[in-house]
Structure 1
Amino acid sequence: MTTAVARLFCDEPTARRLASYLAETLEPNDCVCSAFEGDGGQWQLAVHFREAPEQAALRALIAVAAGDAAAAALSIEQVAPADWVKESLSRLQPVRAGRFLVHGAHDRARVKPNDIGIEIEAALAFGTGHHGTTLGCLLAFDALAKRRRDTPIPPLKGEGRHRRPSAAVLGGRTPMRKHRLWRSEDRGGVTYQRHDPHPARYASHPPPYRGRDKKILDIGTGSGVLAIAAAKILSARVIAGDNDPVAVEAARANARLNGTPAIAFVRAAGANARIIAAQAPYDLIFANILLGPLLRLAVPIRALAAPHARIVLSGLLPSHANAVLAIYRAQGLTLERPLQIDGWTTLVLRRGNKHRPGRG
């Protein structure tokens, strides 16, 4: 139950930055942080506390993240007891990440027909997609899920950059009959590229992590947002673990709420749990956790990854990304794509097709 609320009226970037910073710094069981647009378009940071905070310490944290002026402008007031999680989350707007829309029960009507809605029960929320780390994972996953593993067509003899191959070069075939040639221009000149016009070819080459025989692992699942997202669009077995038993129960409830009760939620610390290792290898792995565990789990994560697997790492500040990347590269993983969202970095890594022993 809320007994105190700290508020700061500021611009949107400051509100979002402070909400992320305080959520990472303060004890999550004692408070909940939110940033939202209020009446008149002005943004507000609101921190709901279960017990009255130490004002000097709180202002010091604000000063570190946003300066002395913001710390002085912070207001702290006592309030009547209320459901502190629901009170804060009821003000949050839905979060869009590609095709996904993460929302609360009060925003169900805002889910459009083409959206993939993920509803998080306010009373059970341990991650709503508003934080840059979760948002980065969702955006990375949305891009991965759209891919098709189509093998590039090798160039034909006589097929050059600045000329269109003749029917004679194609063995007497008309160029447009079996292989359409697409013309594109850039500073280097004109390019003709051959594409297979048959869509069935793409359907026969799905992403390497899609299929009933594939497995997906979510380490540090929290509210289960990433596991639910994977279960909604990939016909694969999803296993999600967290070391917090309350979070595991919350994630199970959210999975039932979203029609994905088949997700296997387990209480497990990191990636070394026997129940997780028994299901290996995994074709897609999420690890949205803190820097320390990410560094320690490099060897176990590589061991759990199947050939061609993708690994999505988040929970990183930009200044820490290179150190984490170096550790995972030492395990034979390669960087496929980095993302930066709201001051946080998400890394998409790929494992090769051979079981190369890592160094660790």
Structure 2
Amino acid sequence: MTAATQSAQSRPALQSWKVTLPCTRIEAEALDGDIAAFALMERPPVLMTSEAAPDDDNAWQLDAYFEGKPSAAAIKLLRSMVPSAAGTKPLVEALPDEDWVTLSQQGLEAVTAGRFHVRNLASDPEQPGQVNILIAASRAFGTGQHETTAGCLTMLDRMRQVGMRFNNMADIGTGTGLLAFAAMNLWPRAHAIASDIDPVAVEISAENAATNGVPLGAGPGRLALVTAAGANHAAIIGRAPYDLLIANILAGPLIELAPSLCALVEDGGTILLAGLLDTQVDAVLAAYRAQGMRLAERTDRGDWPTLRLRKRPRIGWKRPKRLNPAARGEAPGFGSI
């Protein structure tokens, strides 16, 4: 997606709004990514660009979908992104009570990341020689369009290429289930569990699993789905320790969850982190290094890094065994990107 946003949270629904501005093709292409300033907002908008007139590079359109009425500062930021619209009054309108996330995601181009080809429309052709995954436009985010999701897909593919093997995997803040599906494709005999704070995201993940032939359940090669705030679920804790844990959320909850997530991972195990900006890497790494993790690899897609961490072995009385069942491991109000 062209939005820098997180999974819809368990919060009261707000009126949806749209801001429309004219732009040029060059400006539209510059917006083909994620806007760091919007990523820091509690409810970042979904940005969509389209041709207003065929074969006219100066006749394009920017539509920004907001959950709640956009502030003057947000509109000012939008205007700064399309200088050609200077002097043009933006069209700001409240939308009908519809599923604006689905509407804004419809028609997004397929994304190829590593061996994975992610389509959002069933009518889009599959890519020969690729692992084709269909994640339809839905009420939950994580369609592969976001740079952090694509970065995780690429990193997972690279990990498999260099011969890494995993037997027990967890995807915390799964969104649409995409990263869990990808990991299961790479390591099909592993146990796997995926969670999200939003029960709607968990429902969507189950639907997407059926669409993509991913079996649900508790055994090897099957995906368990649970609704949980961070690591706060008996099923997540009971399956620990994990040799691979994926957390594609945001910098704030990544830092808050560092102790509980690291406690879930076995010695020598891997944590894949994404959802943070490059300016937030030092703070996130400091939180995880304090829990015995080390940075093994980093890749960047625009302003969005993907971090692969490994847990240092510990000896003697400091050696971690399993997560304390009394540890809640919550990050209320946060879900996946």
Q: Into which bin does the TM-score normalised by the smaller protein fall?
A: 0.7 to 0.9
1:97-131 Cα distance to aligned partner (Å, 9 max, x none):
1111111124531x222111121121344121111
CA separation of 1:90/1:264 partners in 2, compared to 1, >3 Å: closer, same or farther? same
Would you say 1:223 and 2:176 are equivalent positions?
Answer: yes
Instruction: Answer yes or no: is the 8 Å Cα contact 1:283–1:309 preserved in 2.
Output: yes
What is residue 143 of structure 2 aligned with on the other side? 128
Instruction: Answer yes or no: is the 8 Å Cα contact 2:18–2:63 preserved in 1.
Output: no
Instruction: Answer yes or no: is the 8 Å Cα contact 1:286–1:311 preserved in 2.
Output: yes
Would you say 1:241 and 2:205 are equivalent positions?
Answer: no
Cα distance between partner residues in 1 of 2:61 and 2:204: 28
Letter in 1 for 2:65: H
Between the aligned residues of both structures, percent identity stands at 39
Matches within 5 A, 1:105-254: 105-109=121-125, 111-148=126-163, 207-209=164-166, 214-235=167-188, 236-254=190-208
Matches within 5 A, 1:7-22: 7=21, 9=23, 10-18=27-35, 21-22=37-38
Instruction: Answer yes or no: is the 8 Å Cα contact 2:28–2:49 preserved in 1.
Output: no
Ranges in structure 1 where 5+ consecutive residues have no aligned partner: 149-206
Letter in 2 for 1:142: D
Cα distance between partner residues in 2 of 1:256 and 1:280: 26
Instruction: Answer yes or no: is the 8 Å Cα contact 2:194–2:224 preserved in 1.
Output: yes
Would you say 1:267 and 2:221 are equivalent positions?
Answer: no
Q: Secondary structure at the match of 1:297?
A: helix
Would you say 1:326 and 2:279 are equivalent positions?
Answer: no
Cα distance between partner residues in 2 of 1:261 and 1:290: 28
Higher mean C-alpha displacement, 332-341 vs 70-79: 70-79
Letter in 2 for 1:84: W
Would you say 1:48 and 2:65 are equivalent positions?
Answer: yes
Normalising by structure 2, we get a TM-score of 0.75
1:144 Cα deviation from its structure 2 partner? 0.8
Would you say 1:84 and 2:100 are equivalent positions?
Answer: yes
Cα distance between partner residues in 1 of 2:243 and 2:86: 46
What is residue 297 of structure 1 aligned with on the other side? 257
Which of the pair has more CA radius of gyration? 1
1:324 Cα deviation from its structure 2 partner? 1.2
Letter in 2 for 1:116: V
Greater share of helix: 1
> Number of residues paired by the alignment?
290
CA separation of 1:298/1:26 partners in 2, compared to 1, >3 Å: closer, same or farther? closer
Instruction: Answer yes or no: is the 8 Å Cα contact 2:111–2:119 preserved in 1.
Output: yes
Greater relative contact order: 1 or 2 (C-alpha under 8 angstroms, separation 6 or more)?
2
Higher mean C-alpha displacement, 38-47 vs 342-351: 38-47
CA separation of 1:15/1:41 partners in 2, compared to 1, >3 Å: closer, same or farther? farther
Q: Secondary structure at the match of 2:309?
A: strand
1:156-198 Cα distance to aligned partner (Å, 9 max, x none):
xxxxxxxxxxxxxxxxxxxxxxxxxxxxxxxxxxxxxxxxxxx
Letter in 2 for 1:138: L
Instruction: Answer yes or no: is the 8 Å Cα contact 2:21–2:85 preserved in 1.
Output: no
What is residue 339 of structure 1 aligned with on the other side? 299
Cα distance between partner residues in 2 of 1:137 and 1:37: 31
Would you say 1:98 and 2:51 are equivalent positions?
Answer: no
Instruction: Answer yes or no: is the 8 Å Cα contact 1:36–1:91 preserved in 2.
Output: no
What is residue 20 of structure 2 aligned with on the other side? 6
1:210-247 Cα distance to aligned partner (Å, 9 max, x none):
xxxx1110011111111111122212121011111111
1:253 Cα deviation from its structure 2 partner? 1.0
Normalising by structure 1, we get a TM-score of 0.71
Instruction: Answer yes or no: is the 8 Å Cα contact 2:313–2:319 preserved in 1.
Output: no
CA separation of 1:91/1:349 partners in 2, compared to 1, >3 Å: closer, same or farther? same
Which of 205, 227, 238 matches 1:278? 238
Instruction: Answer yes or no: is the 8 Å Cα contact 1:242–1:267 preserved in 2.
Output: yes
